[in-house]
Amino acid sequence: MKSEIILPQICYDEIINQLDSNLPYEACGFLSGNCNQIKTVWPLINQLQSSNRFFVDKKVVNMTLEQINIKQEKLIATYHSHPTTLPTPSYSDLKNHMSKDILMMIVSFKYQDPIMKLFNIDKNNYFECLFRIKT
């Protein structure tokens, strides 16, 4: 498990704005950086336009991973929204997660204020991770 992840305020704002602007649909993306410091937000398009699932074409995923590599950053986490449910990984989230080495961030819009949580995923288990928003 990774130690505390640092999420700059500007990245937090970018994530919230993207996810909020896609409501009532789920939205998603990648977070990259070095060590435990997130540096770049990579918004992706949910091709399903669904309120409870997301899908991104493998070609788009691979192109984005290439861009992350060009920036000499590492993929730290995936992120997506839960428009009407709590920020807890669903069965589908667990089943389709990329890798146990990549964290999963979920932002819930169930209540007025978004709730953001970060998880370490290992098969069908998940563990909440520490992260700090750096202003």
Q: How far is 32 from 107, CA to CA, in rounded Å?
A: 17
Provide the pLDDT for residue 123. 85
Give residue 21's pLDDT: 98
Residue ranges of domains in the chain: 5-134
Question: With bands split at pLDDT 50, 70 and 90, how would you rate the model's confidence at 2?
Answer: low
- Burial bucket for residue 99 (CB in 10 Å: 0-12, 13-18, 19+): exposed
Q: Which CATH class is domain 5-134?
A: alpha beta
| Amino acid at residue number 134 | K
What is the mean pLDDT of the segment spanning 34-51? 95
pTM of the model: 0.94
